Amino acid sequence: MRRAQLEETVAVAHSPIEQFEIKPLFQMEIAGFDASFTNSSLWMVIVVSFMSLFMVAGMRKSAAVPGRWQSAVEVLYEFVAGMIRDNVGREGKKYFPFIFTLFVFILGLNLAGMLPYSFTATSHIAVNFAMALFVFVGVTLIGFIKNGAGYLRLFAPSGVPLWLLPLIVLIEIISYCTRPISLAVRLFANMLAGHIMMKVFAGFIISLGAAGVAGMVGAVLPFGVTVLLTGLEILVACLQAYVFTILTCIYLNDAMHPGH
């Protein structure tokens, strides 16, 4: 009985989902809403200040022949600028600051989540959904301001036979409205699944290592897997930031040139 209880507490203490717990660092309440400064906010502040420092201090001298630091900043800039050029075109240049901020913010949060004892803010759907909703509302507004009612052409692709049109329009409208959900859940699920997987394999090392010498030898296997998973997760962190941004670019392109 006691042993079972003990095992249960151990299992709870090493639950792979524990890492996603939001802990308020100091309590705050604004107009009846819980607006505490949490560990999630703390990591966002850390990422934003680190990235701002990285950009501003890197470009402080802005030499014609860039040094190593300035090159790193310029590569990041050029990467996002190229993405907008290829996917949106010249008119997309106006929206560069927003998309660049989005990319750097998500990339920073994803990568900060890979540090030990850190917190992955993008593993919470509230954070992602806020960003995705911002993109969705912004893109819809831009589309209607640029094209007026012509933006509705987006829902009726050209070259579709007339009898199929009602069905296609319905499907297009549904897929348009699920954009913010899929955008948010994609990032959320990737971060959640990756971090749970890493915790589970790291837990195997501990439980095998506790089982004696033979267990310790066997623990080499999950240790190797954890190392590989860490690499995969860093790839996924960059990739998901890229995917979120490129989808934003594609949506923006739809708003600029509907009916293509």
Partner 1 sequence: MELAAAKMIGAGIATLALAGIGIGLGNIFGSYLSGALRNPSAAPKQFTNLLIGFALTEATGLFALVIAFLILFT
Q: Which residues bind partner 1 (CB under 8 A)?
A: 182, 185-186, 188-190, 192-193, 236, 239-240, 242-243, 246
State the Cα–Cα distance between residues 128 and 120, nearest whole angstrom.
11
Q: Which of 254, 238, 242 is nearest to 112 (CA)?
A: 238
Task: Give me the least distance between CB of 126 and partner 1, in Å please.
Answer: 14
Task: Give me the least distance between CB of 56 and partner 1, in Å please.
Answer: 29
Task: Give me the least distance between CB of 144 and partner 1, in Å please.
Answer: 27
Q: How many CB atoms lie within 10 A of CB 74?
A: 15
Contact 109, 43 (CB under 8 A): yes
Closest CB to partner 1 among 186 and 257?
186
State the Cα–Cα distance between residues 195 and 82, nearest whole angstrom.
31
Closest CB to partner 1 among 20 and 223?
20
Task: Give me the least distance between CB of 246 and partner 1, in Å please.
Answer: 7
Contacts of residue 132, Cβ cutoff 8 Å, sequence gap at least 6:
179, 180, 181, 183, 184
Closest CB to partner 1 among 84 and 192?
192
Closest CB to partner 1 among 86 and 91?
86
